[in-house]
């Protein structure tokens, strides 16, 4: 069985004091993460350095929620993936639906950002997902396929340098997660679509699910064969919930991973 991932997207929450308290609670709940499953937290940009310091001797990865599609230059207000790397980040969420929705990001930009992240040595966590209206009108696969092709059309990299996240927009922050069956169907669709280009890469690529993952649904979702982990929003802001979800994920895995 493959390794799994649990990534906490803190969104625009936190401050110096609450970040410190959250990491202290995480460490109290879970002295060290298990080697079968990588745990990552993604704070807002200004706290990247603080989080890198707080987790120095703690086996949790650090990521950001966005990066520039450029490595350097006259791009006011942008953050280079090289800067993220220098300050201790290893992951970058790319193309989150909240950025598509509120910042007008599109598929092409997502692909360029993923490429820049890879160039800087970060692991991009590329998000794809349909809206409720797209699902209701039977266009889920058309949308997922388009988003996927836009991102992966640019990218030539190894399966362990990239993560794909399925995050249906209707499940994000709504408390209504996709059912385990829907998650499995869409993960399988995404994996098959990637397999058209490269079978081995597709089989090994981590595909994680995000959207209202909670303690109550974690085990059922993570038990699905094509689910390699989770991208967690609100539940990642509570150490006990985040660790309980992490343990629910471990419970779906054998004692050792390949
Ligand atoms: P929620 O877990 O709060 O639904 O958010 C999911 C998400 O957007 C993670 O990136």
DSSP string for residues in 11-56: TT---HHHHHHHHHHHHHH-SS--TTEEEEEE--GGGHHHHHHHTT
Residue nearest ligand 1's atom 2 by CA: 233
Query: Which residues, including other chains, have CB under 8 Å from residue 177's CB and lie 6 or more apart?
Result: 171, 211, 212, 213, 214, 217, 221
Q: Give me the residue spans of the domains in the chain.
A: 4-72+81-250
CA of 74 to the centre of ligand 1 (A): 32
173 is annotated as contributing to ligand binding: yes
| Separation of alpha carbons 208 and 127, rounded Å | 9
Task: Report how far apart, in Å, the C-alpha atoms of 117 and of each of 26, 126, 154, 157 are.
Answer: 27, 11, 12, 12
State the CB neighbour count (10 A cutoff) for residue 190: 24
9 is annotated as contributing to ligand binding: yes
Three-class DSSP category at 166: strand
Q: Which residues are catalytic?
A: 96, 167
pLDDT of residue 132: 97
Taking the CA of residue 93 as reference, the ligand 1 atom at the shortest distance is 10
Check if 234 has its Cβ closer than 6 Å to any atom of ligand 1.
Answer: yes
Check if 211 has its Cβ closer than 6 Å to any atom of ligand 1.
Answer: yes
Report the predicted TM-score, pTM, of the whole model to 2 decimal places. 0.97
CA of 15 to the centre of ligand 1 (A): 19
Do the Cβ atoms of 7 and 42 come closer than 8 Å?
yes
pLDDT of residue 133: 97
pLDDT of residue 153: 77
CA of 202 to the centre of ligand 1 (A): 24
Residue nearest ligand 1's atom 9 by CA: 233
pLDDT of residue 192: 97
Q: For each of the chain's 258 residues, which pLDDT tens digit applies?
A: 689 999 999 999 999 999 999 999 999 999 999 999 999 999 999 999 999 999 999 999 999 999 999 999 999 999 999 999 999 999 999 999 999 999 999 999 999 999 999 999 999 999 999 999 999 999 999 999 999 998 887 777 778 899 999 999 999 999 999 999 999 999 999 999 999 989 999 999 999 999 999 999 999 999 999 999 999 999 999 999 999 999 999 999 988 765
Q: What is the dihedral of CA 100, 223, 42, 130, to 10 degrees?
A: 0
pLDDT of residue 157: 77
State the CB neighbour count (10 A cutoff) for residue 50: 19
Check if 172 has its Cβ closer than 6 Å to any atom of ligand 1.
Answer: yes
pLDDT of residue 154: 72
Strands (E), 55-177: 60-64, 91-94, 123-128, 163-166
What is the assigned CATH class of domain 4-72+81-250?
alpha beta
């Amino acid at each position: 069985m493959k390794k799994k991932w649990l990534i906490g997207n803190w969104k625009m929450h936190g401050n110096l004091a609450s970040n410190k308290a959250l990491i202290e609670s995480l460490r109290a709940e879970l002295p060290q993460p298990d080697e079968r499953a990588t745990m990552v937290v993604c704070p807002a940009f200004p706290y990247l350095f603080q989080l890198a310091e707080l987790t120095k001797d703690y086996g949790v990865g650090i990521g950001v929620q966005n990066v520039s599609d450029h490595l350097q230059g006259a791009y006011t207000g942008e953050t280079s993936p090289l800067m993220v790397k220098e300050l201790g980040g290893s992951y970058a969420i790319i193309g989150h639906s909240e950025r598509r929705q509120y910042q007008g990001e599109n598929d092409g930009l997502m692909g360029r950002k993923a490429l820049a992240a890879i160039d800087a040595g970060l692991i991009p966590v590329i998000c794809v997902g349909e809206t409720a209206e797209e699902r209701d009108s039977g266009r889920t696969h058309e949308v997922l396929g388009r988003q996927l092709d836009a991102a992966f059309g640019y990218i030539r990299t190894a399966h362990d340098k990239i993560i794909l996240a399925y995050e249906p927009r209707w499940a994000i922050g709504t408390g209504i997660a996709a059912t385990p069956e829907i998650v499995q169907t869409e993960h399988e669709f995404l994996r098959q679509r990637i397999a058209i280009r490269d079978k081995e890469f597709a089989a090994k690529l981590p595909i994680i699910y995000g959207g209202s993952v909670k303690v109550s649904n974690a085990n059922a979702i993570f038990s699905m064969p094509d689910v390699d982990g989770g991208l967690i929003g609100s539940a990642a802001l509570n150490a006990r919930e985040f660790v309980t979800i992490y343990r629910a994920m471990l419970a779906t895995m054998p004692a050792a991973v390949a």
